[in-house]
Structure formats: structure tokens, C-alpha cells
Amino acid sequence: TASELPRPHRRRRLRIALAALAALAIALPAADALARERGESRLADRIAARHKDLRSAPQVEIGGYPFLLDAARGAHPEVRVTADGRTPDGRPVKAAVDLKEVTQGPDGYSAAAVDARFTVPFEALATEAGRSVRLSDAGDGQLRVERSAFGISAVVTARLALKDDTVTLQATKATLAGRPIDPANPLITEALAGKRWELPALPLGLRASEVSVGPDGVTARARGERLALS
């Protein structure tokens, strides 16, 4: 028995056992990280194959540890996907989709909850509005619309409203040649009436619930529960 071995032999066995435990402690996280990387790559390939409108390979991050245990159970607590795509009318859009409690069943994968954000850059929206129009972030979730004509600049700050997949603008502040004017002025109201954007169909059957403005552009946000992914 180990107790009957000479002390040098017992120490040697202990060193071997400790070395084996250390090697295992290093090998298991490394193997788990490699399996996670492969799983993320396979999922990214699957998404790219299903969505031909992507402009680049999607990025996938699978949360939870250890990955191998979650993979064996067929369930992951969180999956995050970011991708650059295009709308049906050709405008670039950046998508960020957070999926919670992703599970695999007989009919494919499903998610208990989905939180998605789709952002179109200002440049793409301004091009549609016209060359002389410049869009930017006005802060507080509002949009700054600037237009110059004959050397005179008109600036309008507007809130975004969403109704039936249509985004409209409502002026909250306006200036003409640097001087404040009433945002309810008929000229301002009529000009903004023509600035509306129809949201395209979103993935997974999601419907946008809100729109907002940030440093990167205009973002439509959608949430859903118990959604089939494939």
C-alpha cells in the first residue's frame, strides 16, 4: 500500500498525482475553449447559409461555462450574434441579436427570449432624403436634420415615432439661419411629413417595438419570447 512505501516513493507518487491534476486543470479549460470556438464557427456558418443578404461573416458568441456540459445538454444560457447585412432596398444595416436560453429539440433550436437591434447608419438614410440633407444624433434619442439651400441652413430636431412598421418624425425644435423658429411652422411640418421610413420584415418573425437615435444611426428594437430559430 501507499503507506508501506518508502517516504521518497510516496513523495514521488504525490508529485506525479499533483502534476496530473495540474495538467488536467490546464487541459480541460483549453479543450472547452476549443469546443466553444468550433461551436461558434459552426453556428456562424449556419447563419451565413440561411441569410444571403449578409455583407460579411456573422460574429457569434456563446455564453455559459463549461461549454461542453451545455453542449451535451443541448442548451446554452446565452448566444449573441452580430452581423452586417442589407435591407431589401439595399441600405446597410447592422444587427445585434441576444438570445436567452437557447435549447435544441426534435424540431431544431428555439430561444426563450430574443432581444434584437437593427441599426441603419445616418448616411444611408440621408442619401434617400437628398444630397443637401445631413442627419446626425441630436442627443436624448432625437434626430438632427440639417439642410442647406442658397447658403441658408435650416436645422430641425425631431422625435421618432413608430406606427405599423412606419417611422415618422415630429419636430421639437427648429432654427433657420441660426435663429429659432416655431417647430410647428407649416413649412417644417410639411417637410417632415415626407420624411418617413418603412421598416422591412425582420428575421425570426420579429416586429419592431421602438425606434431610437444613437451615435451610429437610427435603431429599431424588437423583442420576442419562445421563438423557433430553425
Contacts 24+ apart (CB under 8 A), 174-177: 176/152, 177/152, 177/153
How high is the pLDDT of residue 20? 54
Domain ranges of the chain: 122-198
212 touches 194 (CB < 8 A): no
pLDDT, mean of each 10-residue run, the chain (230 residues) = 55 60 58 85 87 86 87 90 89 93 84 94 75 85 85 88 90 90 86 82 90 94 89
How high is the pLDDT of residue 188? 84
How high is the pLDDT of residue 99? 93
How high is the pLDDT of residue 191? 78
How high is the pLDDT of residue 1? 47
Q: Which residue, among 187, 183, 226, has the nearest Cα to 206 in the 3D structure?
A: 226
How high is the pLDDT of residue 193? 76
How high is the pLDDT of residue 10? 60
How high is the pLDDT of residue 79? 93
How high is the pLDDT of residue 207? 92
